Structure 1
């Protein structure tokens, strides 16, 4: 099959005229101006001579952009749940799950990097590591995985420390969900409604009983039932993101220690065991 010839210049001009496309942006804001592409596309500065470092940088930078959007959506969703504006909360939470799907795909691209390719650039990374990501830590905290030790990597940057500490001290998405259940007269214990939000969440049989009431009578608690499923979607997607992370790391560096001093794969595998919304998962056995 032959490739059709490109339109002649005259034909191209006619198409532009017919479509009304604007070509001169000397006075108006262009696509690149709006997106600040000069700044974004000039922010990749490989430190090694390795060809594959560009992949490593772009993958992590784009992941941080997706995480910025995730935090934007999560922050608004937590507020919406607190104010019982459930329709917009559901839309935001659904978007969070889709963002996580994009992040899973990012690991798929990075997995094309082979061990020798990573080894060629690894010495140039010094002690920098993904677990130092302030945005990722805020996501973990907003989803309820509170750990004060994770504040320390940000102590050298007061602005980042303040951002992460704010998420650490605030009620998580799940905390606000349980407060909502209580306002709907479901039997959530006081110990889970007014507590030290900086402490890790502890699962409760009484909380599971409250969720069971929702799931056994979804017609009477439809928006709470939908909230439970949106939370399930998020944790499902988050587990896939974590799993894809650990398998990619094992594929690329094996069981070497991480650049930030963690155990690498061993550390990431421990994260797979963290359950964010335990009662919503447990109730499925008891229904």
Structure 2
């Protein structure tokens, strides 16, 4: 055991020195506080994104191991990581809603100091879109691992949806958790769209995007194949 203390373990001195509002101190304390709020919300979101990416990668690896070549409890390990990622994405969505407490009058004052800085430049967010399959790069590696894990169990998405919780067991819980993950991700993006439209209306984004109009085009739902399988289940029941 070392003499490690709380502040040292968390590197708090360094972490708490990173909040640097650009608005001149003393000119307007209300605007300075609003900018600090804006910075803290975005910095904490980036930290939570680190955790989500870690859990999604760990879940993907666990599912790869569940394809018959690794440990048999890979699905359960994946569920542990995915459940945490779902909860954190919910927290990110609530953080966006929290930013509704940023008065537009204050934001308008310090927004020019952002320059060309924009959330669209977030590497963590881009990496998350890649993991979720909503980036331009293509299919989600997590979803590919999910399909392989199902195939190793001799089943498919359609069969899991048809059998439900009683018949498909852990595979059904996995499918439902992926849906939860997708909807939390999508809800976060919709919350952000509402926030931007509320604060900026039709103004362009600081990073050169079309603002809210750009966000509309990026509000894609992950795992469309899984949702389509559920739709086909409804059509089948309607035809019988």
Contact 2:126 2:135 (C-alpha < 8 Å) held by counterparts: no
Distance 1:185 1:86 in 2: 14
Please report how far the alpha carbon of residue 74 of structure 1 lies from its aligned counterpart in structure 2 after TM superposition.
Answer: 0.9
Distance 1:53 1:112 in 2: 12
Q: More helix by proportion, 1 or 2? A: 2
Partner of 2:127: 138
- Report 1:1-287 matches (<5 A): 28-49=3-24, 50-51=31-32, 52-84=34-66, 85-147=74-136, 172-186=141-155, 210-218=156-164, 219-272=166-219, 274-287=220-233
Please report how far the alpha carbon of residue 211 of structure 1 lies from its aligned counterpart in structure 2 after TM superposition.
Answer: 1.5
Contact 2:161 2:230 (C-alpha < 8 Å) held by counterparts: no
Question: Once superposed, what is the RMSD of the aligned Cα atoms?
Answer: 1.8
1:238-270 CA distances to partner (integer Å, 9 max, x unpaired)?
Answer: 111111111111111111100011111011112
TM-score with structure 2 setting the length? 0.85
Please report how far the alpha carbon of residue 143 of structure 1 lies from its aligned counterpart in structure 2 after TM superposition.
Answer: 1.0
Question: Alignment partner of 1:43: what SS?
Answer: coil
1:186-240 CA distances to partner (integer Å, 9 max, x unpaired)?
Answer: 4xxxxxxxxxxxxxxxxxxxxxxx3221121244532221111010010111111
Distance 2:75 2:149 in 1: 10
Please report how far the alpha carbon of residue 29 of structure 1 lies from its aligned counterpart in structure 2 after TM superposition.
Answer: 2.3
Question: Alignment partner of 1:127: what SS?
Answer: coil
| Structure 1 residue ranges without an equivalent (≥5) | 1-26, 149-167, 187-209
Which protein has the larger Cα radius of gyration, Structure 1 or Structure 2? 1
Distance 1:183 1:146 in 2: 27
1:18-69 CA distances to partner (integer Å, 9 max, x unpaired)?
Answer: xxxxxxxxx9322111111111110011112332110111010000011011
| Structure 2 residue ranges without an equivalent (≥5) | 25-30, 67-73, 234-240
Contact 1:73 1:95 (C-alpha < 8 Å) held by counterparts: yes
Distance 1:180 1:146 in 2: 23
Distance 2:213 2:103 in 1: 20
Distance 1:231 1:74 in 2: 11
Distance 1:275 1:29 in 2: 44
Please report how far the alpha carbon of residue 171 of structure 1 lies from its aligned counterpart in structure 2 after TM superposition.
Answer: 5.9
Distance 2:3 2:231 in 1: 60
TM-score with structure 1 setting the length? 0.71
Contact 1:118 1:253 (C-alpha < 8 Å) held by counterparts: no
